[in-house]
């Protein structure tokens, strides 16, 4: 106050809010105290009457004040005083490092593909968030009804989706579903984030303009406006944080459900298992379906190509491990196929729509009665490893009916006395070795 007092005393009187020239107020010690009290009382009295004045009168006095020759100097001093007192205290509180929580959320959203760098992470978002709503109302930004409604909407969407999956008895979430849901999250997030940024910018602009306007009638330094923008930005950061938290939560729930669904085993339908087994046993000497055959099987079975691959992988290894049981199963499928194609000669099951299966020509099909173990005897002792284990990488292998029999070369020869279906020259996709 010392500087301010000096200004007053040196310039000799100001126009008060009522337009009257105020008596020179001198803090000097040479005036009688009664006189000073009287002058102060006059000033206060005039200030108190301001509220009773009309707008026109106030406007007129505002204009008078703005034009007063001492105004710039007075405001400068007052701004300086504010800077040294209140603002310096705030300043120490504002220089904080970036919020680590917000950074983690940003990282996750970027990693999940919900928020790209172009959308701005925490830092850029904060920079863009030249602020918004609360404007001095403690934490009221979070209470902004529109944003709360939108955040609730995000939650609602995914709770609804979760209920759907639960009601569908845990049916699997396919990759396409996951991606679609993730895209939906991204869309909602980006929409809301855009609105958030817009609101921040609009509100900040509004506040800045307001402060600039007010700076004509009260001492507001540019630095103070900057600080106000920072404060507003912080208030809006709470909204940003909540939006990102909700989005992360939705992504985590979706991912969790997706992984659970993948992990959860579901038996294939009986029909699907039948189709796979038929293919397997009809291509027993080379049970490596091509990509085309896998796709065809997947389509027919209502499963994915990966599941077909898994199935054949498991089937091959388990066939070898328990050849006796597998052989019995082979007999069953052979008998089925024989019955299905009775009177048509050799016509094994073939998903790829190509050549006939191998076991139809053996002894006229008589050997495939379940009581007949002749086939089993053939199978049991003639398992050969996959050519890769004999000759190196399967990448170099070509199907070979005599030396490249997958598991039971002699058995297959016996089954398919007229030549096999596994000739590398075959054009049938289902009979080729899998693409390596």
Partner DNA sequence: TTCCATGATTCTAA
Partner DNA sequence: TTAGAATCATGGAA
Any contact of residue 267 with DNA (CB under 7 A)? yes
Instruction: Name the segment binding DNA (CB under 7 A); options: 152-160, 212-220, 267-275, 343-351.
Output: 267-275
Do residues 188 and 243 lie in contact, with contact meaning Cβ atoms separated by under 8 Å?
A: no
Q: 116 vs 385, which CB is nearer to DNA?
A: 385
Q: Which of 136, 139, 134, 120 is nearest to 244 (CA)?
A: 120
DSSP per residue, 74-89 = HHHHHHHHHHHTHHHH
Q: 247 vs 290, which CB is nearer to DNA?
A: 290
Do residues 326 and 284 lie in contact, with contact meaning Cβ atoms separated by under 8 Å?
A: no
Residue 310 beta carbon to DNA: minimum distance, rounded to whole angstroms: 4
Using CB under 7 A, pick the residue from 313, 345, 417, 419 that binds DNA: 313
Q: What angle do CA 428, 431, 435 make, to 5 degrees?
A: 100
Residues in region 205-234 near DNA by CB under 7 A: none
Using CB under 7 A, pick the residue from 189, 281, 311, 368 that binds DNA: 311
Residues in region 32-71 near DNA by CB under 7 A: none
Phi, psi of 108 (to 5 degrees): -65, -45
Residue 161 beta carbon to DNA: minimum distance, rounded to whole angstroms: 20
DSSP category for residue 118: G
Residue 278 beta carbon to DNA: minimum distance, rounded to whole angstroms: 14
Cross-strand bridge partners of residue 383: 408
Q: Based on the number of CB atoms within 10 Å of its own CB, is 39 exposed (0-12), middle (13-18) or buried (19 or more)?
A: middle
Tell me the C-alpha to C-alpha distance, in Å, between residue 334 and each of 45, 97, 184, 279, 419. Answer: 112, 73, 49, 11, 18
Any contact of residue 170 with DNA (CB under 7 A)? yes
Q: Which two tokens stand for residue 18?
A: 């009522």
Residue 436 beta carbon to DNA: minimum distance, rounded to whole angstroms: 5
Instruction: Name the segment binding DNA (CB under 7 A); options: 116-124, 125-133, 303-311, 354-362.
Output: 303-311
Using CB under 7 A, pick the residue from 198, 217, 273, 370 that binds DNA: 273
Any contact of residue 167 with DNA (CB under 7 A)? no
Do residues 370 and 381 lie in contact, with contact meaning Cβ atoms separated by under 8 Å?
A: no
Any contact of residue 262 with DNA (CB under 7 A)? yes
Three-class SS state of 383: strand
CB atoms within 10 A of CB 263: 8
Any contact of residue 406 with DNA (CB under 7 A)? yes
Size of the site for DNA (CB under 7 A): 33
Contact map string, positions 362 to 401, toward DNA, x by CB under 7 A: -----------------------xx-xx--xxx-------
In whole angstroms, give the CA distance from residue 355 to residue 335: 18
Residues that bind DNA (CB under 7 A): 170, 262-268, 273, 288, 303, 306-307, 309-311, 313-314, 316-318, 320, 385-386, 388-389, 392-394, 406, 434-436
């Amino acid at each position: 106050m010392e500087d301010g007092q000096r200004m007053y005393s040196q310039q000799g009187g100001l126009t008060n809010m009522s337009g009257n020239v105020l008596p020179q107020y001198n803090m000097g010690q040479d005036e009688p105290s009664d006189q000073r009290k009287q002058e102060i009382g006059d000033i206060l009295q005039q200030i108190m009457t301001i509220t009773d004045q009309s707008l026109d009168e106030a406007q007129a006095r505002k204009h008078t004040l703005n034009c007063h020759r001492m105004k710039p100097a007075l405001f400068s001093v007052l701004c300086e005083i504010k800077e040294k007192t209140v603002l310096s205290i705030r300043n120490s509180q504002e220089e904080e490092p970036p919020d680590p929580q917000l950074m983690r959320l940003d990282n996750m959203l970027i990693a999940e593909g919900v928020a790209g760098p172009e959308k701005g992470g925490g830092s850029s978002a904060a920079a863009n968030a030249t602020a918004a709503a609360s404007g001095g109302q403690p934490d009221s930004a979070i209470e902004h009804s529109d944003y709360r409604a939108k955040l609730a909407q995000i939650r609602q969407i995914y709770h609804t989706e979760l209920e759907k999956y639960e009601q569908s008895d845990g049916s699997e979430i396919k990759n396409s579903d996951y991606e679609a849901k993730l895209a939906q999250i991204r869309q909602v997030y980006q929409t809301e984030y855009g609105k958030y940024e817009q609101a921040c910018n609009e509100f900040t602009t509004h506040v800045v303009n307001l402060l600039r306007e007010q700076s004509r009638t009260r001492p507001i330094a540019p630095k103070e406006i900057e600080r106000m923008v920072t404060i507003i930005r912080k208030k809006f950061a709470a909204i940003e944080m909540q939006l990102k938290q909700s989005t992360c939560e939705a992504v985590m729930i979706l991912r969790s459900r997706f992984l659970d669904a993948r992990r959860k085993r579901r038996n294939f339908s009986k029909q699907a298992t039948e189709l796979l087994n038929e293919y397997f046993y009809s291509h027993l000497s080379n049970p490596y379906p091509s990509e085309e055959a896998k796709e065809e099987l997947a389509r027919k079975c209502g499963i994915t190509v990966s599941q077909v691959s898994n199935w054949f992988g498991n089937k091959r290894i388990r066939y070898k491990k328990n050849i006796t049981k597998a052989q019995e199963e082979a007999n069953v499928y052979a008998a089925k196929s024989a019955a299905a194609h009775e009177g048509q000669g050799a016509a094994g099951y073939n998903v790829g729509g190509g050549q006939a299966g191998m076991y139809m020509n053996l002894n006229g099909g008589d050997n495939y009665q379940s009581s007949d173990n002749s086939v089993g005897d053939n199978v049991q002792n003639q398992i050969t490893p996959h050519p890769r284990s004999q000759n190196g990488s399967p990448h170099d292998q070509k199907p070979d009916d005599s030396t490249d029999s997958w598991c039971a070369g002699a058995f297959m020869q016996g089954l398919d006395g007229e030549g096999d279906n596994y000739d590398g020259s075959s054009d049938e996709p289902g009979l080729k070795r899998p693409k390596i």
